[in-house]
Structure 1
């Protein structure tokens, strides 16, 4: 890498003085180096640490060139260039990637997404500056004037519209047939939800390549529109030929494996088409390009209702067809109204929790003081502080106990028996990734034979079912089991048990990829008298979004710290829904109850209450996908929190009545089930107490904020977030531990935002449950009056951090 020196690029260098460059990189040394080199040529430089910050800079002022890293937190470089090329104001801004990602596929991806140059790290500063200056001198042609789409190499949509209009005129003159088709991928929304914004671009590049190959005619024209759909003009093609060729394309795409964010997926193409009218009638004009594309789009929406790989031809009867919900369809007015009302209801419920948790207690304190002369702030303040200390102490204790590595017995007590894996899936959401998941199980190294049961439900037939059936023919270990009428994971698992042949069974969600040797490791536990083994769930799409990265660190704090630490502290474990291994006879006896939102926790607690043994093994690793958006995270955690509340109401008293549990285990159950539900409300009580004391003393400035005991209390409770993050970093799997930036950001988010977000979810979940709203979405001290009082606002850890949730 070159030094930080002024660089003379050439005689034309003075022409770039006064031009502006935006340098985007989270490495401050690289930013300083590039800034020095460009400023040496007279280029003004502004900087950003990631893609989102870069977009803020671009909103204020559009530079003459952008120099960007690829691997960055928040929004990576690939997502940034996609956003630049999608916005009219920045479509023509040159972008140079400067990155350590040097694989040829990365270069191709970057250029396909619209980058103008790609420089690998380590780099020579002189060369980089020369390339950047060259881009300032010779900026790219604006996208709107290009014939080809920069992402895919296909025609631009505007250019194809011109071709369609031209072909319509020719068809009217000659009577020769032609057609316009729209092709999309049914799983596109789900893939973007799972893998982030890059999924759309990865799909676009690969589908574009295959469509061109499988259409089979040099006369065809293919484009991609702003919504991400593929538009196809098929000249000289009658209806039968159009249907045959489009069917060939759809079947070929459905049978191939595409790569999204590094993972192999299978997709379901949906195709609609409309014929150009070669005989519009005397003096009549046939439909233009816009209308033909709209007709084909309506037909594609109709194809989405069937997902059978059969192209749908537009007819007037389709004009009233209601397209399926999703990105391609505008929701009905009733659906939009339900969405708005749902959001308003949740906002009202949040307000209700604040009313009950803050406003009402403050009014009670004031009323007791004014009407009865009773000051309850001192004892209540001590109770709240004690609650915070108890929670913080429990979390620290779990962390230290987790440092003592939990390992299975060295050798199994008996030879490994046949085993089974049950994968529960809902295909419309998981059709794209389920084949990859099944294949990861079939690659498991288990010496005694492994049966793989894919228990799934789907409201309609899907093309991936044929792929699974073919895979089962090739490998008899696989049993695809469609569970008719199922509406839950519990039903799928219960139905699979009738077909399970293994002595023990691993239960997994449809996005899990277990490590090799996992079943043999699980048997080492089970052969020594354990009934269930809960493994370590690891997030594998942490680079998709900040939400996924937050989940990745949080899962380490749950599965590498809290679960094993709690198992040591309270002497029982729990099954978290996936990557858990059961004795088959026990699971057949216990089953899963679909009326519970967290059927997994319910089933494991029933085992514990009967004296069963559940181990927690952080070394039993399986990798899964995290939500990538805040809305998806909210829905997931809301279901978990509401499900935990159901479980707490059902099992707390049962645990105390259980003769199989020791006193220590019963106290652990009380903390896990009772305390976790009370704590989100207790964590709010500092606010009304401090407000009352400030009111009583005549203002907050009259309170003593520095009494040592309360300062120490505050520091201790505030240490929980950093402490648990450090434990998570220490015990995380290697690929997560190699991301220190994720842990730093999690620490900041957890300390100031995420902890309270989970407490809010916990309170709202209780309100929803008590109101009967159940929806499964596929998250102080008082002294003498003359003396100032001590309100010490203490940080509030969340009990969810100590307890975990699945």
Structure 2
């Protein structure tokens, strides 16, 4: 490799003409150079030396000053250097190698001039590597003594090769000068160092490159804050901000990105205002935040806003446009024994935040340090919870039937006929549920059509396939091949973001496909345990202006990305497509789910969107603007991360569209057990979203009254309705008890009969609309729809209500285990 010329601040190279002004020249040379005016340097004039009255070229140079420590092995070179420095007005002391610390303690110098021993006799192959590194050892000795880091250090070298000079400068020298230089030049260089004392960056209060507190000074500031009396401190938080992509960026762009990333993060914090009192950084590129005088909730909200802003911004780092995922760890100052431990704990929380990449600030907890808990007893709840979960069907009947029946009895004994009032509440609830279903069906007939033309030219697009490979191994290759057949008029990249606990043979097949077609990008996500983590890892890697999110069993229609851009380019931020079951022939369960998906995606979603003014993202076959997805992310702690992300995006004012003609085909569960696990996860996830977002949404100024009504129906009524329908049983028992037996009940109450008829009619109406709006290949399967009508009316509706009630109990017990839906290659429904 051709050697690159490295510019350094050194004197010119020695030459025969320059040898007359050498720093360490002999007496004769000094006389001929005009240094005879300094007898202490040059010795007595030679008898034959010609006299000259011409002024010395540096006669007008200012005299030096200050105390200089000369470091070097005693001998003629040190003596001559000492005489040179004294001749220019410096006070000089001497220390041999190994005695620098002792001399500095006795008489602290203003500067150090050290002789580089390497090369003083010219090249010598017999010299040992230890001799060759003598100059670096001197630098290290000076820099490691107390106070030595801030001393100006000038190296005088006999053989100024560029490589040797570079090594000395990089290892702590402030300047290098050849022995052949003019003495006055050496003096001027020392004076320059004394006027502008070189201080290591970490010793400065503020880093001159970033404008932030250096790590040691930030620790000093933090320790001062911690030493304040608690009465005057009033809360406060310490936070550390890392970046999930820092390793990849550094591998590609070099270590400079650490400083630049910290600068970019600090710039965002400064733009957001004064929520942070002091900002610093460390050598790993972490941004350090000290937030005194704030309570935990205020700090968490400020840090969340900071994270969202960073994630939604494109930065230029090392001349490259990148998107960053901030990972924030924090803890209250009250839990910090000292600054060093506080930052270490916050960095542990950063690692947990990086694992999820969901932008949520992570509060430090002791388990993040991985400390063993010896002799720790298992909490009582962990012992009782499995037993309660196993008895959940009994608990459901006890809570939903037994407790209300006793309540109705007791209130009746007290003179309150609560049971009769609840009878009318239940009837009204059943009628309301049926009415809402019919309204959704009617509104679905006239749903908003897709714009015929795109509002802007087709941009680069990306597809993200989230996969758990052990479960998807049988189908993933077919899925990838189907994506590579998509028809899109611009660049389309397919990112397969997957996690797997161990290497699989299918990975080699995927690598072969990626080598054949560069559109496929394989992204294994180390440490991931959820679909949300896979999507979050992919969102900063994608290059497209919009992103389609898919599960690993989906085969989108060839024009899916074209059609999605028609919506996104005309003012929408997210569009949800129509998920169609492609393995309906596999089992009776698959047939049932195939028709149910038509009722959901062809009827309910479009009808609800038009009725209430907002749509939802269903987890797959959804298309997001990349900037919005980067700000929103997916929260892996939510069992339905798709609905949670929908509510958070809607609360920002995002517009969601639903398009039943935007088709992607997927696999349905084929067994009742798999269906139970899938729907249990969905039901519990919806409950989590309701608990988190319902009250917040009803109070939000972003939503209209119509949207708030839809939110109450979607998040509130859906959780009440399963328990309300169960009240039929305790009300019947109560009525029979009060009447003296079932045979004495009047079953022909007109309004009750009408309510039952209307409620029962909702099922056939929904099945009819599902058949009318279904995709062609399923509409031809009319027997499937008749079967769905009967099964749904007499079994499946009760099945889903039972699943919802079980999910409520699981959430109350803290059982949030994710059970994956098994996938297998299956016979597809013929498409026509």
Q: TM (normalized to structure 2)?
A: 0.52
Pairwise CA distance, 1:656:
1.4
Tell me the distance in 2 between the aligned counterparts of 1:579 and 1:402.
19
Describe how 1:20-59 pairs up with structure 2 within 5 A: none
User: Are 2:533 and 1:508 equivalent residues in the alignment?
Assistant: no
Which residue does 1:535 correspond to in 2? 577
Which residue does 2:435 correspond to in 1? 393
Cα deviations across residues 96-126 of structure 1 (Å, max 9, x unaligned)?
xxxxxxxxxxxxxxxxxxxxxxxxxxxxxxx
**Which one of the candidate residues 358, 362, 368 is aligned to 2:405?**
362
Cα deviations across residues 28-75 of structure 1 (Å, max 9, x unaligned)?
xxxxxxxxxxxxxxxxxxxxxxxxxxxxxxxxxxxxxxxxxxxxxxxx
Tell me the distance in 2 between the aligned counterparts of 1:591 and 1:549.
34
Which residue does 1:32 correspond to in 2? none
Tell me the distance in 2 between the aligned counterparts of 1:747 and 1:731.
16
Which residue does 1:758 correspond to in 2? 800
User: Are 2:388 and 1:349 equivalent residues in the alignment?
Assistant: no
Pairwise CA distance, 1:434:
0.6
Would you say the 8 A contact 2:447–2:607 is kept in 1?
A: no
Would you say the 8 A contact 1:422–1:453 is kept in 2?
A: yes
Would you say the 8 A contact 2:463–2:548 is kept in 1?
A: yes
Indicate the SS of the match to 2:392: helix
Tell me the distance in 1 between the aligned counterparts of 2:685 and 2:723.
18
Indicate the SS of the match to 1:486: coil
Tell me the distance in 1 between the aligned counterparts of 2:650 and 2:768.
30
User: Are 2:419 and 1:419 equivalent residues in the alignment?
Assistant: no
Cα deviations across residues 215-256 of structure 1 (Å, max 9, x unaligned)?
xxxxxxxxxxxxxxxxxxxxxxxxxxxxxxxxxxxxxxxxxx
Pairwise CA distance, 1:347:
4.7
Pairwise CA distance, 1:685:
0.8
Tell me the distance in 2 between the aligned counterparts of 1:376 and 1:466.
67
Which residue does 1:667 correspond to in 2? 709
Pairwise CA distance, 1:449:
1.6
Tell me the distance in 2 between the aligned counterparts of 1:347 and 1:771.
11
Indicate the SS of the match to 1:777: coil
Which residue does 1:715 correspond to in 2? 757
Indicate the SS of the match to 2:726: coil
**Which one of the candidate residues 806, 811, 816 is aligned to 1:769?**
811
Which residue does 1:132 correspond to in 2? none
Pairwise CA distance, 1:675:
0.7
Which residue does 1:560 correspond to in 2? 602
Would you say the 8 A contact 1:590–1:603 is kept in 2?
A: yes
Which residue does 1:601 correspond to in 2? 643
Indicate the SS of the match to 1:354: helix
Which residue does 1:437 correspond to in 2? 479
Would you say the 8 A contact 1:609–1:654 is kept in 2?
A: no
Which residue does 1:730 correspond to in 2? 772
Indicate the SS of the match to 1:543: helix
Which residue does 2:781 correspond to in 1? 739
Tell me the distance in 1 between the aligned counterparts of 2:740 and 2:485.
71
Would you say the 8 A contact 1:407–1:619 is kept in 2?
A: no
Tell me the distance in 2 between the aligned counterparts of 1:347 and 1:759.
18
Which residue does 1:378 correspond to in 2? 420
Tell me the distance in 1 between the aligned counterparts of 2:771 and 2:386.
36
Which residue does 2:508 correspond to in 1? 466
Would you say the 8 A contact 1:610–1:658 is kept in 2?
A: no
Tell me the distance in 2 between the aligned counterparts of 1:769 and 1:707.
39
Pairwise CA distance, 1:578:
0.2
Pairwise CA distance, 1:342:
10
Would you say the 8 A contact 1:652–1:669 is kept in 2?
A: yes
Describe how 1:698-709 pairs up with structure 2 within 5 A: 698-709=740-751
**Which one of the candidate residues 584, 588, 605 is aligned to 2:626?**
584
Indicate the SS of the match to 1:533: strand
Pairwise CA distance, 1:344:
7.0
Larger-Rg structure:
2
Which residue does 2:233 correspond to in 1? none
Would you say the 8 A contact 2:448–2:610 is kept in 1?
A: no
Pairwise CA distance, 1:694:
1.2
Would you say the 8 A contact 2:385–2:813 is kept in 1?
A: no
Indicate the SS of the match to 1:773: coil
CA separation of 1:343/1:561 partners in 2, compared to 1, >3 Å: closer, same or farther?
Answer: farther
Which residue does 1:90 correspond to in 2? none
Tell me the distance in 2 between the aligned counterparts of 1:652 and 1:735.
38
Tell me the distance in 1 between the aligned counterparts of 2:619 and 2:808.
21
Indicate the SS of the match to 2:653: coil
Tell me the distance in 2 between the aligned counterparts of 1:386 and 1:509.
39
Which residue does 2:106 correspond to in 1? none
Pairwise CA distance, 1:702:
1.6
Which residue does 1:219 correspond to in 2? none
Which residue does 2:591 correspond to in 1? 549
Pairwise CA distance, 1:528:
0.6
Which residue does 1:62 correspond to in 2? none
Pairwise CA distance, 1:645:
0.6
Indicate the SS of the match to 1:476: coil
Cα deviations across residues 422-473 of structure 1 (Å, max 9, x unaligned)?
0000110111211110111111000012110000000011111111111111
Would you say the 8 A contact 2:634–2:641 is kept in 1?
A: yes
Stretches of structure 1 that go unaligned for 5 or more consecutive residues are 1-340, 780-806
**Which one of the candidate residues 699, 709, 732 is aligned to 1:690?**
732
Pairwise CA distance, 1:707:
2.1
Tell me the distance in 2 between the aligned counterparts of 1:451 and 1:732.
30
Structure 1 stretches of at least 4 aligned residues deviating more than 6 Å after TM superposition: 341-344
Tell me the distance in 2 between the aligned counterparts of 1:570 and 1:698.
47
Tell me the distance in 1 between the aligned counterparts of 2:785 and 2:659.
22
Indicate the SS of the match to 2:488: coil
Which residue does 1:570 correspond to in 2? 612
Cα deviations across residues 692-746 of structure 1 (Å, max 9, x unaligned)?
1111111222222112222111100011111111111111111111111111111
Q: TM (normalized to structure 1)?
A: 0.54
Indicate the SS of the match to 2:391: helix
Indicate the SS of the match to 1:719: helix
Tell me the distance in 2 between the aligned counterparts of 1:405 and 1:386.
28
Pairwise CA distance, 1:495:
0.5
Pairwise CA distance, 1:751:
0.5
Pairwise CA distance, 1:657:
2.1
Cα deviations across residues 306-344 of structure 1 (Å, max 9, x unaligned)?
xxxxxxxxxxxxxxxxxxxxxxxxxxxxxxxxxxx9997
Tell me the distance in 1 between the aligned counterparts of 2:743 and 2:476.
61
Tell me the distance in 2 between the aligned counterparts of 1:381 and 1:345.
30
Indicate the SS of the match to 2:521: strand
Cα RMSD (Å): 1.6
CA separation of 1:342/1:439 partners in 2, compared to 1, >3 Å: closer, same or farther?
Answer: farther
Stretches of structure 2 that go unaligned for 5 or more consecutive residues are 1-383, 822-832
Indicate the SS of the match to 2:494: strand
Which residue does 2:820 correspond to in 1? 778
Tell me the distance in 2 between the aligned counterparts of 1:653 and 1:463.
48
Tell me the distance in 2 between the aligned counterparts of 1:515 and 1:467.
24
Describe how 1:246-395 pairs up with structure 2 within 5 A: 346-370=389-413, 372-395=414-437
Indicate the SS of the match to 1:480: strand
